[in-house]
Structure 1
Amino acid sequence: MSTQVSTEVGREQAAPGVPVATPSPADRRDPAVLPRRAELARSVEVLRLLADPTRLAVLALLDGTELSVTAIAHAVDRPVPAVSQHLAKLRAGRLVTTRRDGTTVHYTQANEHVAALVANVLHHAEHTLYDVPPHHR
């Protein structure tokens, strides 16, 4: 069995027959170019953060707005300490950002990519559950 070895710095090794390169932005549209291992690993971390119902609900709630931990806890009907722990994980994963106003910390989605990711996963779930998904009504 032969091992594919790269002499290019920064280029990752791949299984035989699987093209892996350092993609440019234009290459991103080419399905034959795989994402880098670091990008795949980080993506899996993000998906793991989204795989919790409370965290996903919090991110959906924060779409286009900012709220305090107390307001979020009330909206998702969970205890403040539990929501605070979830927000800490989302913050560490760079899915939310904060703004301090005196003693109150306000949370919001980190960027438009987080908003799109949350909306898309929820819309996809609706498509698997309903003949006519609520977002199409």
Structure 2
Amino acid sequence: MCHYMRMNADNGVCSLGVDSQYVELAVEVFAMLADATRVRIILALRDGEMAVGALAEEVGKSPAAVSQHLAKMRLARMVSTRQDGTKVLYRLENEHARKLVADAIFQAEHALGEEPAHHRRDRKEGS
């Protein structure tokens, strides 16, 4: 998209002010979320901390598989950990991954061609 816009000759940034460094990092975030298990992990963690075993049960995968996904998500700073005795509890690092996943699901609802459930909820809450 940037190639269609004027470039600022001084700093190489699109006129929208989008720094290419952040665009590349954003692409990495989307790549990290391009996995159904990771999206399910984020959905499971939206209400708080969980141990690997509970997450594995929630997302329907083995603890070993969930641990591998969590390790990648931890490196990407999407999740963080807290030690509780012998358990390691995982939580979302911040609200952004949760919001990205929620918005992606809302976008997916639009793809079904009917009025999305989130629009119906918004209308009911506004009444």
| TM-score exceeds 0.5 | yes
Q: Percent identity?
A: 40
Larger relative helix fraction: 2
Structure whose alpha-carbon radius of gyration is higher: 1
Matched, 1:108 2:91: yes
1:52-63 aligned within 5 A = 52-63=35-46
Deviations 1:57-83 (A, max 9, x none): 111111121111100000111000000
Give the corresponding residue for 1:18: 6
User: Does the 8 Å CA contact 2:52/2:88 hold for their aligned counterparts?
Assistant: yes
Aligned with 1:120 (options 81, 88, 103):
103
Deviations 1:100-124 (A, max 9, x none): 1011111111112222111111111
Q: Which structure 1 residue ranges, 5 or more long, are not aligned?
A: 1-13, 23-30
Q: Which structure 2 residue ranges, 5 or more long, are not aligned?
A: 121-127
Secondary structure of the corresponding residue to residue 64 of structure 1: coil
**After the TM superposition, which parts of structure 1 deviate over 3 Å for at least 4 consecutive aligned residues?**
14-17
TM-score normalized by the length of structure 1: 0.75
Q: Distance in 2 between matches of 1:97 and 1:17?
A: 38
CA RMSD of aligned residues (A): 2.2
TM-score normalized by the length of structure 2: 0.80
